[in-house]
Every structure is written in structure tokens, then in C-alpha cells.
Amino acid sequence: MNFFRSAMKADERFMARAAELALKGRDRTAPNPCVGAVMVRYGQIVAEGWHRYCGGLHAERECIADARRKGVDMKKCTMFVTLEPCNHHGRTPPCTEAILEEGIPRVVVGARDPNAVAAGGVEHLRKNAVTVETGILERECLDLISDFIVWQSTKRAYSILKMASTLDGKIAGPSGKQEPVSCPESFADVQYLRSIVGAVIVGGNTLYQDNPSLTCRRDKLPDEFVQPRPVIVTSRLPEADSELTAVKKRCSETIFWTDETTAGGDTANRLRDKGIEVTGLPYCEKGLNLQVGLEKLRSEHGILRTLCEGGGRLAMSFVNSGLADELVYYQAPRILGNEQGVPVFSGSGAETMAEAANFRISRFEPSGCDLKIIFKPEDKNVHRTGSGQGTS
């Protein structure tokens, strides 16, 4: 992970460490946000903590517990926390109470809490003579909880889009034959992504060409782990006696998203007789209304995150619909150089750069020999300017 530390001020470096800790809990904190905290004394980190799982201690209390174990005098410390300390009684007591009980004199907050129920911690601490600073690495800290923000502001599942390509933007050669693009380390990282979502989404072409299992093949999965459900977006439903893995071996888990007419046909009914869910989605100006599908996954199946691993057209559909909440992109250091190769994105119809869908880099890190880049949708109030041909 890279938070551009070399150019950071001290407070930013400490907050960057808290952000790294926050990510350690991402796989188990939902529907809570992932949060990290560090305790600093005389310019050194003396204790750390993060929210490890939903229902467990919040990051602040984990950090305080770590400081207690180490015999740290917290009355001489500053706490750095990526999200505003909560000020309400939920599954755990307010973190503001713990901070006040320990006499921590200064708290630095990355982002304010978007949840109105839990917010107000900053004001409460200030009223009790604690020095509080806010907005340190705010954008980075908000990115940590982008899934939580979606859950708070919409009724749908959070959508992660995973793509891997060569340097020239190809995911396969002209034949479309399935071949590895990225390295083994990136493949292992994708298994981690599959472990934190409730559904893996692909298109019909991927289904018929690759016959994927769409399971998480990560080592040492917990006993309570439930495999993500396969979700296939297609207007061409397979027959109920198909040998496809999603139909034959995962029929009780598989969901097909298709148009409403196809969903009312005989093929769809035969699939339903086998235990497969077939959902008809309405059309909108962008094509099938994928948002309705994401809302159904959350309301009917309790799925909070999805991972789209479809081809270029399905990926572009998520982008065009404003449903690519997070783009995880594996850039392989190789060049195909064949104009007829399969592009990583396709089907938008855009003709000028002014029509392009814009993203921003949230963070990046090596993934074996690949470069893993996390993109988030660019803020709507940001306007790109530049000059020249392809040099802006």
C-alpha cells in the first residue's frame, strides 16, 4: 500500500499508519466501517488498534487496551483515528467515554462519521477539554469507509469491479481464449476479494467461454465461511440440464439476472424448478437496470458487497451506471500489441475524452510483478483540463 509517505507531515504519517491498520479488519467488520487507531507519545507510535470484527471492540478501545498492556501513560499521548469516535451506545459503549476516562488530551480524526446516530464525538470531546483536530488525510480515510457510506446512503450492495490487463489494455488475445494475464500473487489477492463479498458477478460470455466456478479458493477459510453466490448477467439462459458448473453443481446458490421477458419464459421456469434463482431486471437508459439487482441482493439475501469479474462489456455497464464503487485494477507488465485483442473495457460508445468515465487513484501497491491500483469514482465537482494530444 502507498499513501505517499515520503512527502507527509508527521500527523499525516501517523494517520497513514492508522489507515493501514483499518484495512486489516475489512473482511470481518461489515456492516460496520473499518477503522484504525494509533497512540503517539513524543513522536513515536506506542500503541495500535483496529476494529477487528462486527460486534468487537472499536479501534479506539483496541488501541487503548494495547496501551494499557504496555503500561503507557495515555495522559501524555495523542490518539490518531481514521473515523470520528462514536458517541452513542450500540453493541459497545461510546468510544468518547473511553478516551475521556484515560485522560487522552489530544485526538486527531481523519474523517467525520457519516452515520448521524454515531456522530457528534468530536463536539463531545471538545466540550470536555480534549483538543480535537479533524480532516487529516480525510479523503484517504473516507475511502476506507466507502462501502459503509454506500450502505448508509443507498439500499444496494457495494460494488467492487475487478479487472486485470496488459499494459496496452488487453485481457485476452483475438480468440478470447482464457489465459492468465496477471501473476500468481494477483490471483491470490483476487481470492481475498472473493472472501469479503457475498456474490461474484460475471456476464454470459464469461459463463459460456470459461465455465467458472466463482468460488473463493483461499487457504484457511474460517469454518463459518459461506462461498459467494454466482450471479450471471445474460439474455441467453442455459438449459436446466446444462453441464455448466453454475447450473449443475451450484444450482442452489446461482442467480441469473436477465431481462423481464426472458425471466418469464420456459427456460427460466425450468431453471427455477432446479432451485436456481432467475431475476428479471427492468431496462433503463443504460441497459439492464443493474442497480435493481444490487438492491435485491441486499434486501433479499443480505449481501453487502459484490465483486464483478465480468468481461469488458459488463464492466463498462457497471461504470456507465455509476455502480463501480471501487475498481481494483491489476496492471500486468506485459504488452500484447495486437489491435484485435480483447479490451479491458468496451461498449461505451464514447467518442471523445470529454465523454470518458473518470476515476481517481485511491492507493496502490505491488502485487508480485504486477501493479495493483485501487480506483474510486472521481468526485463530481472535479473537472479535468489539459492540452495537447494525449499529454494532459
pLDDT in tens, 79-121: 999 999 998 877 778 999 999 999 999 999 999 999 887 789 9
What pLDDT, on a 0 to 100 scale, did the predictor assign at position 91? Answer: 76
* pLDDT band at 380; cut points 50, 70, 90: low
199-219 residue pLDDT tens = 999 999 999 999 999 999 998
- State the Rg of the chain over Cα: 23
How far, in Å, CA of 310 to CA of 222, rounded?
27
266-312 residue pLDDT tens = 999 999 999 999 999 999 888 899 999 999 999 999 999 999 998 89
Calculate mean pLDDT across residues 222-250: 95
Q: Going by DSSP bridges, is the β-strand pair 78-83/106-111 parallel, antiparallel, or unpaired?
A: parallel
- List, in sequence order, the alpha helices (H) in 137-203: 138-144, 146-153, 184-195
Is the confidence at residue 4, as pLDDT, over 80? no
pTM for the full predicted model: 0.91
What pLDDT, on a 0 to 100 scale, did the predictor assign at position 383? Answer: 47
Count of helix runs (H) and strand runs (E) in the chain:
14, 18
* pLDDT band at 353; cut points 50, 70, 90: very high
What pLDDT, on a 0 to 100 scale, did the predictor assign at position 382? Answer: 47
What pLDDT, on a 0 to 100 scale, did the predictor assign at position 381? Answer: 47
Range name among 155-164, 207-216, 376-385 with the lowest pLDDT average: 376-385
What pLDDT, on a 0 to 100 scale, did the predictor assign at position 392? Answer: 34
Range name among 163-167, 175-179, 285-289, 299-303 with the lowest pLDDT average: 175-179
Is the confidence at residue 373, as pLDDT, over 50? yes
Nearest CA-CA partner of 95 in 72, 122, 69, 132:
122
Is the confidence at residue 6, as pLDDT, over 50? no
Nearest CA-CA partner of 326 in 351, 344, 308, 342:
308
At residue 324's C-alpha, the angle toward residues 173 and 178, to 5°, is: 20
- Cite the active site residues: 60
Determine contact, residues 186/365, Cβ cutoff 8 Å: no
What pLDDT, on a 0 to 100 scale, did the predictor assign at position 391? Answer: 35
Is the confidence at residue 388, as pLDDT, over 50? no
Is the confidence at residue 153, as pLDDT, over 80? yes
Mean pLDDT of the chain: 92
What pLDDT, on a 0 to 100 scale, did the predictor assign at position 175? Answer: 86
23-65 residue pLDDT tens = 999 999 999 999 999 999 999 999 999 999 999 999 999 999 9
**Residues near 197 by beta carbon (within 8 Å), at least 6 away in sequence:** 160, 228, 303, 305, 306, 307
Calculate mean pLDDT across residues 167-191: 93
Determine contact, residues 77/67, Cβ cutoff 8 Å: yes
Query: How far is CA 352 from its chain centroid?
Result: 29
326 exposed, middle or buried (CB, 10 Å; 0-12, 13-18, 19+)? buried
What pLDDT, on a 0 to 100 scale, did the predictor assign at position 389? Answer: 40
Calculate mean pLDDT across residues 132-137: 96
At residue 28's C-alpha, the angle toward residues 27 and 33, to 5°, is: 90
